[in-house]
Chains A and B, each alone.
Chain A
Amino acid sequence: MPTRQVVVFLGLSVLLLAVVVELVRRRTLRVEYSWLWIAACLTSMLLIVRYDLLVSLTALVGAVVPTSTLFFLCILYLALLCLHYSIRISRLTQQVKDLAQELAILRVAVDEAEPRSGEGAATR
């Protein structure tokens, strides 16, 4: 790989990694969501530094040019990320539903325990 390409892409990968780590540090991104991103950054760095690995990987999967292997890896990664999000969203949906039901039940209990503040003040 030409040195210019190595420098540019390595720089971009390092930048992305730094952004992800900083987001985690600021608690904007949760740790359990960050590992897929960190894995992607490290993988791309590895493949940039060791281009021969990409070439042998290309031979292994039977692709013709290393670029196709790279694109394939990218798409696979994005698909995994989407699946990961779908799983999280399913769980969140379930949790939101449970919370909403619980909230409604508790509200009935609270309303029955102490009547509306206006009426309550009058009767006390």
Chain B
Amino acid sequence: MIFLRLAWLNLLRHRIRTLFSIAGIAFSVAAMLTVVTVLQGAIGMFTGILSSGAEMIVFERNVSDLFFSDVPLPAERSIAEWQMVAHADPVLFGVVSSADHPIITCFGVTKEDPRIRQATWLEGSADTFGTHETDIVLGERAAAFLAASAGKDIPIGHGQFHVSGIIRTKNGFEDGGVFMPLESAQRFFHKEGLSVITIKLRSTGQAEAFKRQVREQFPNLIALEDAEFSRSYSQFKILKATAWAVGGCGLALGGLGVANTMIMSVFTRIREIAILRVNGFSNFQIAATVFGESAVVSVAGAILGLVVGATTLYVLKLVPALDGYVDVTMHAGLMLLVVLLALLTGIAGALYPAFYAMRIRPVEALRFE
């Protein structure tokens, strides 16, 4: 108890400095939590677009971005015929723009595509999808920001399209997108091929055989399972690395704040540490008092950071412009990891101050009254 009380008293002696240190850790934790949660949510949504109930994705090998992937149409037709394939859905991704919205994701799909079949149709119906080449279906949010409804003609890019339906999906990106018949999308984007083929196999045990067959018959293509794709897709890797780097920088700054607080704390109580020494405190016990203070700052900062991070995510969810685009579900594992990182940061920040405290010689420290 006296250990804790000593740590607590030392922190109370310099309240403002302690509060700044706690705030530093809290903002670092909040930043890491927010950035990583938003990006993980976004990645999850994007992966959801690709899979849509499928198990495998086939796309052009060695492309940095799926928008640049070009899968020949004959390949899709051939793969769809394979025994092990339950069904294959060709998808062409593109980006279109309208007057006020420079970036709208466009999905070129067939009427059999699960996105069309499994969506909730708010207006129109899946059966009429692709009846006319200028027909498009809008996601619910796209319809809202384009102020469009079924039966209306709207300009998209350099073309004029007829809205044949409005759908609601479980995915924020899809809800903000435009769905075109595959052939119309190919014409619109001047592409003969596809971006990806999403595959559902008859048996999940055939995944390896499927990948091998794709590699043998179409050396320019690659087949990956959903989880495999999420792990290996370079854009996701960059996003994840960026998120952790931003959070890591935040924590490093928080750690420097803790280090500053702790070293100042040690400097201002050299005499007190000398007294502990005279009373038989070992190096380990002296260091424990410093680490104890640091732990109090880190834990308080981590708790405050979780509250600030959760509040930030809640507010982000309420921002209309972001509605549906960000999945702000906080995962317990991530929260635990962030708190652990904050504690480790606090401990790292206390290393030098603890080392300094351990080297204080009581005879010198007590000489100065």
Query: Are A and B part of the same complex?
Result: no
Chain A interface (Cβ within 8 Å of chain B)? Answer: none
Chain B interface (Cβ within 8 Å of chain A)? Answer: none
